[in-house]
Structure 1
Amino acid sequence: MNAGTRALEGKVALVAGATRGAGRAMAVELGRAGAVVYATGRTTRERRSEVGRPETIEETAELVTAAGGTGIAVRVDHLETDQVRALVERIDRDHGRLDVLVNDVWGGDHLLEFETRVWDLSIERALRMLRLAQDAHLITSHCALPLLIRRPGGLVVEITDGTPEFNTDHYRENMVFDLAKYAPARMAWALAHELKPYGGTAVCLSPGFLRSEEMLDHFGVTEENWRDAVAKDPHFAIAESPAFLGRVVAALAGDPERGRWNGQARFGGELAAHYGVTDVDGSRPDCLGYFTDVVFGGKRAGAEAYR
């Protein structure tokens, strides 16, 4: 399942929020499986978004093409309905179909205020975070799903951070962040009901401890020497590359029986075990098991036992 398959040849995917991190990796792996991938986001080589990072959608599209797919970068603010509608109209004109929609829009990390009670939060920052996590996903689904349901078998993947079950047991120390990350799971559950009559599937997925560009920068390491960061945070030993979730999404999109996951919210590692997907180092990080047993459960074990 990791390489060499062209299960998505002739398929068209839209990865909303593909500028960096898991979004970029999902776009690349869908392309590696043969898909045409529209990679959207707000940061281009000419203009950065409020996130302020250097990664661009053009780079993502080039990586998709280099992997064997067809990458198409389109600058879209997914909070602007007219921009999303124009994007979908372009996909319809160019291909007349949409087979996979990945709702990965976020870009709210810079708005987080951890260990701050709701009455002490900046309400402007809080509402902006909710808009990015909820409104952008809703607008994208509203505009894109009429094209996706034109053919049976469409797939919607909502991306979040943690599953409802996991987050219920472990408060994130920010009520608004908690709401923001619960919403995509509930959206996938609701979309599962709405898509089922059209042969569609909706799933919510979460990465584990993600080695995103921002996280690597935080620890002062690169993907090549990321294990050096374990000295600063021992739990980083369970970290997974963005490609891990990307490979899971590509396997899911290529599975004719993916309806088995309809409406569910899962960690990527759970589906990786089912599909035989591994990370770039050949391991299969079980972040859910590690955090449940070791971090929160007090079990004396190293991360290697969960890779």
Structure 2
Amino acid sequence: MKEPPPVAVVTGASRGAGRGIAIALGRHGCTVYVTGRSEKTGDHALPGTIGETAQAVTDAGGHGIAVRIDHADDAQVRALFMQVEQERGRLDILVNNACALHDDLTAPGDFWEKPIGIVDMLDVGLRSSYVASYYAASPMVARRHGLIIFTSASGAAHYSFGPAYGAHKAGVDKFAADMAVDLRPHGVAALSIWMGALLTDRLRMVIASDPVKYKDLEATTETPEFTGEAIWALYTDPALMDLSGQTVIGAEIGLRYGFADSNGRQPRSCRDTHQVAPRPQHPLILR
């Protein structure tokens, strides 16, 4: 009997990184549950809806399913994973990408001079990733198979946009490391992946806000789909469990598995450009 296509949940996939990841997984035939709050044009200042992403997944060769969810509501998140179980009977990949990004995150000023709402990313971003992983773990453990991914960035290890952003990125890296300890005996992997600067509508808006300051940024960006290709390469690696618990750099995953970005560029690792690398987890385990 032919194995059914992998089933993935990509959170925060109306636009940006989540949209690109979902489409890339669709190219590989995955059924992708696309979550987010934007159901119709105008729900957000930036373009993109869950329905549009789901259709793009289907157009790419997979099966996209849009599910409107506020990831600040634990009950809605639980209902999502119940829906996946009822409809598909399995879950293979969870991509924790949803994050409440405030428009003033990149504005000038110190953290106390910016809106306090920036800290909301520690709710929808950090806490919501824990909750989604909590509900994803049981079906994966039951099948002794699965991959939980956290989208992160080098700001986990250096100052970037202020303390809330850094705490979010460092937090999801730590989630991957510690969840991997609990999941390892059950054959389920957890990793965090550092994305480079992604050429999304949001980044285009940032570049347009100060073209002189950001004039060279676009040439160093990755497409949002590149991270999705990295996730697929990790998922299909027979040695995936050897990597579980690590924080990996997307650009280095491309080199490891021999693929470039869709724009033909080979993204450069922040390890090379800025001498920044993920912090290794100490092997000590206390229970």
Instruction: Calculate the TM-score normalised by the size of structure 2.
Output: 0.87
Q: Does the alignment pair 1:38 with 2:33? A: yes
Partner residue in 1 for 2:89: 96
**C-alpha spacing 1:111/1:216, structure 2 compared with 1 (3 Å):** closer
- Kept in 1: contact 2:223–2:262 (CA 8 A): yes
Letter in 1 for 2:38: T
- Quote how far apart the aligned CAs of 1:118 are: 4.5
Counterparts of 2:213 and 2:131 in 1: how far apart (Å)? 42
Partner residue in 1 for 2:222: 240
- Quote how far apart the aligned CAs of 1:270 are: 1.1
Which of 160, 181, 206 in structure 2 is aligned with 1:172?
Answer: 160
Counterparts of 2:268 and 2:176 in 1: how far apart (Å)? 23
Partner residue in 2 for 1:276: 258
Structure 1 segment 126-145 matched on structure 2, within 5 A: 126-145=118-137
**C-alpha spacing 1:262/1:47, structure 2 compared with 1 (3 Å):** same
Letter in 1 for 2:190: A
- Kept in 2: contact 1:85–1:144 (CA 8 A): no
Which of 27, 39, 47 in structure 2 is aligned with 1:54?
Answer: 47
Counterparts of 2:245 and 2:80 in 1: how far apart (Å)? 26
Which of 190, 207, 223 in structure 2 is aligned with 1:202?
Answer: 190
**C-alpha spacing 1:237/1:54, structure 2 compared with 1 (3 Å):** closer
SS at match of 2:82: helix
SS at match of 1:101: strand
**C-alpha spacing 1:275/1:82, structure 2 compared with 1 (3 Å):** same
SS at match of 2:254: helix
Partner residue in 2 for 1:68: 61
- Kept in 1: contact 2:46–2:201 (CA 8 A): no
Counterparts of 2:207 and 2:113 in 1: how far apart (Å)? 29
**C-alpha spacing 1:9/1:289, structure 2 compared with 1 (3 Å):** farther
What per-residue deviation string (whole Å, max 9, x for no partner) do you get for residues 88-134 of structure 1?
111111011101100001131425265644554544x1431211221
Which of 99, 102, 117 in structure 2 is aligned with 1:106?
Answer: 99
Partner residue in 2 for 1:148: 140
Instruction: Calculate the TM-score normalised by the size of structure 1.
Output: 0.81
Partner residue in 2 for 1:251: 233
Which of 9, 12, 19 in structure 2 is aligned with 1:14?
Answer: 9
Partner residue in 1 for 2:280: none
Partner residue in 1 for 2:284: none
Q: CA RMSD in A?
A: 2.4
- Kept in 2: contact 1:97–1:150 (CA 8 A): no
Counterparts of 1:281 and 1:9 in 2: how far apart (Å)? 31
SS at match of 1:110: coil
Q: Does the alignment pair 1:23 with 2:15? A: no
**C-alpha spacing 1:109/1:284, structure 2 compared with 1 (3 Å):** farther
Letter in 2 for 1:13: A
What per-residue deviation string (whole Å, max 9, x for no partner) do you get for residues 186-235 of structure 1?
11011111110110110001211211122124435xxxxxxxx7995224
- Kept in 1: contact 2:14–2:36 (CA 8 A): yes
* Higher mean C-alpha displacement, 139-148 vs 56-65: 139-148
SS at match of 1:156: strand
**C-alpha spacing 1:173/1:17, structure 2 compared with 1 (3 Å):** closer
SS at match of 1:234: coil
Q: Structure 2: 5+ residue runs without aligned partners?
A: 277-287
Q: Structure 1: 5+ residue runs without aligned partners?
A: 1-7, 221-228, 296-307
- Kept in 1: contact 2:15–2:47 (CA 8 A): no
- Kept in 2: contact 1:18–1:57 (CA 8 A): yes
- Kept in 2: contact 1:11–1:98 (CA 8 A): yes
**C-alpha spacing 1:251/1:113, structure 2 compared with 1 (3 Å):** closer
Q: Does the alignment pair 1:159 with 2:156? A: no
- Kept in 1: contact 2:13–2:22 (CA 8 A): yes
SS at match of 2:274: helix
